[in-house]
Amino acid sequence: MAEHRPHPASTPQSIRAEAIEILLIERGLLSESVIDDVIVRFNERVGPMNGARVVVRAWTDPEFKTRLLADGSAAVAEYDFEGGQVDKLVVVENTEAVHNVVVCTLCSCYPWSLLGLPPRWYKDPAYRSRIVREPRAVLEEFGVSLAESTSVQVWDSSAEVRYLVLPQRPTSSIGLDEADLPALVTRDSMIGVALL
Amino acid sequence: MNEELELEGPIAPPLANGELLFDAPWQGRVFGMARALADQGAITWDDFRVELIAVIGAWDAQSEDARVYHYYDRFLQALETLLVKRGMVAEGELRAQVDAIEARPHGHDH
């Protein structure tokens, strides 16, 4: 059968997928750009970049930071993120004194309009129970070592309230161009299981 | 517009660090087609779910291995089944289209 393959990268599945796409476009049911848009929407526009932009603005705009910490939902509403209907968003700030980490002990509530799709481990029963019982040990496993003097605050999400961690700005980022800052802000840092 | 995905259980898609994981471009295309058809109301996501659960269930019954790597094979099969059932694509024309793509000379298949 190999000689029938039009291209080494083509597989029976890729050909069938393309055939279906051609037929659906011929029918006027879809267009190439509509399909492209869906993929982009899931992988980029609804991704951790939204959260990263909010974090960077809080780092660089003290007035926005005040508003963000006072009322996360209202401050984030200014952005009009796609699918961003978070009923109540609470933003919690990491400092030398307090490290915040987010969990949903009941299910998997998550501010996905800001952070995209949750990582697998967020739904893992072990994470959900252990982060409450022994947060320092779990954070160590994520590679987060905190000073003894830093207390750990665990926030339990629900259908009504979602949490976003505002990570501390890394000192290494001082002097960087503001446009380069969002790339530094990882998804895990906004859940509270990583430092920047 | 339904943005929710089922991220665990029998029909959860493979993810890497929370992002959808596609091993080949066609996998992204079939995912995009199914979601776009549902967004536009040509199919419902629930109907697609039912097909996907059936296809994955039938496959799980015969094989335990490497489900992650073949997830989109099942996804494609479910989409195809639903489109044929709904009369949106006929099996004969699909076969003809596949033959036409396979008959294309090198360099025209992107």
In a domain, A67, yes or no: yes
pLDDT score of A6 = 43
Total Cβ atoms within 10 A of residue A117: 23
Q: Do A105 and A181 fall within a single domain?
A: yes
Q: How many domains does chain B have?
A: 1
Q: Phi and psi of A149, rounded to 5°?
A: -75, -10
Which residues 119-148 of A have a C-beta within 8 angstroms of B?
Answer: 119-120, 123
State the average pLDDT for chain A: 86
CA distances from A131 to A123, A125, A140, B81 (A): 12, 10, 11, 43
The reply to whether residue A24 touches residue B83, judged by beta carbons under 8 angstroms, is yes
Q: Do A9 and A59 fall within a single domain?
A: no
Q: Phi and psi of A191, rounded to 5°?
A: -90, -25
Q: What is the mean pLDDT of residues B72-94?
A: 94
pLDDT in tens, A44-69: 555 577 899 999 999 999 999 999 99
Q: Nearest to residue B76, comparing CAs of B17, B7, B13, B10?
A: B13
**Of the residues A44, A59, A76, the one at which a domain ends:** A44
In a domain, A151, yes or no: yes
ipTM, two decimals, is: 0.81
In a domain, B13, yes or no: no
Helix (H, G, I), strand (E, B) or coil at B61: helix
Q: SS in 3 state form for chain A? A: CHHHCCCCCCCHHHHHHHHHHHHHHHCCCCCHHHHHHHHHHHHHHCCHHHHHHHHHHHHHCHHHHHHHHHCHHHHHHCCCCCCCCCCEEEEEECCCCEEEEEECCCCCCCCHHHHCCCCHHHHCHHHHHHHHHCHHHHHHHCCCCCCCCCEEEEEECCCCEEEEEECCCCHHHCCCCHHHCHHHCCHHHHHCCCCC
CATH code, domain carrying A155: 3.90.330.10
Intervals of chain A under pLDDT 50: 1-8
pLDDT in tens, B12-70: 777 654 566 677 788 889 999 998 999 889 999 889 989 998 888 887 776 665 455 58
Whole-number Å distance between alpha carbons of A1 and B77: 21
In a domain, B4, yes or no: no
In a domain, B12, yes or no: no
Q: Do A38 and A68 fall within a single domain?
A: no
Residue B3 pLDDT > 80: no
In a domain, B7, yes or no: no
E strands, chain B, where? 15-16, 19-20
Q: Do A37 and A52 fall within a single domain?
A: no
Q: Which two tokens stand for residue A139?
A: 């954070």
Residue A105 CA to its chain's centroid (Å): 18
pLDDT score of A29 = 93
Using the Cβ of A10 and the Cβ atoms of chain B, whether some distance falls under 8 Å is answered with: yes
Give the single-character DSSP code of B2.
-
The domain in which residue A178 lies consists of 48-191
In a domain, B94, yes or no: yes
In a domain, A196, yes or no: no
Nearest CA in chain A to B23: A14
The domain in which residue B40 lies consists of 24-102
pLDDT score of B106 = 62
Using the Cβ of B41 and the Cβ atoms of chain A, whether some distance falls under 8 Å is answered with: no
Q: Do A53 and A136 fall within a single domain?
A: yes
In a domain, A168, yes or no: yes
In a domain, B18, yes or no: no
Q: Do A133 and A96 fall within a single domain?
A: yes
Which residues 52-81 of B have a C-beta within 8 angstroms of A?
Answer: 72-73, 76, 79-80
In a domain, A21, yes or no: yes
In a domain, B6, yes or no: no
| CB nearest B37 (choices: A30, A112, A116) | A30
In a domain, B1, yes or no: no
pLDDT in tens, A136-163: 999 999 999 999 999 999 999 987 889 9
Using the Cβ of B91 and the Cβ atoms of chain A, whether some distance falls under 8 Å is answered with: no
